[in-house]
Amino acid sequence: MDDHIPDDPQREDSPPVVVCVRRWACGTCGGRGIASEGETCPDCNGFGNC
C-alpha cells in the first residue's frame, strides 16, 4: 500500500505555481499583432491581445 501524500501546494517550502493567463485575441489583427498594411496593429500595439 502506498502511503505517499502529494506535496501540499500551500506549504511554504513548495515552489510557486505559474499560471498562464490567456487574454482575448485582438479583433483588428486577429491576434497576429500585424495590421493589414504590414505595420504594427494600432489597437493592440503588436501584442495580439486586448
Flag whether 9 is in a domain: no
Residue 10 is classified by DSSP as: T
Q: What confidence score (pLDDT) does residue 7 get?
A: 60
Chain centre distance of CA 4: 33
Could you say which residues of the chain have pLDDT below 70? 1-14, 19-22
What CA–CA distances, in Å, run from 6 to 11, 12, 13, 15, 40? 11, 15, 14, 14, 47
- Return the sign of the alpha-carbon dihedral for residues 15, 20, 33, 43: negative
Q: What confidence score (pLDDT) does residue 21 get?
A: 66
Q: What confidence score (pLDDT) does residue 37 get?
A: 86
Residue with cell 500585424: 34
- The rounded distance, in Å, linking the Cα atoms of 4 and 16 is 21
Flag whether 47 is in a domain: yes
Q: Say if pTM beats, i.e. exceeds, 0.85.
A: no
Flag whether 1 is in a domain: no
Flag whether 8 is in a domain: no
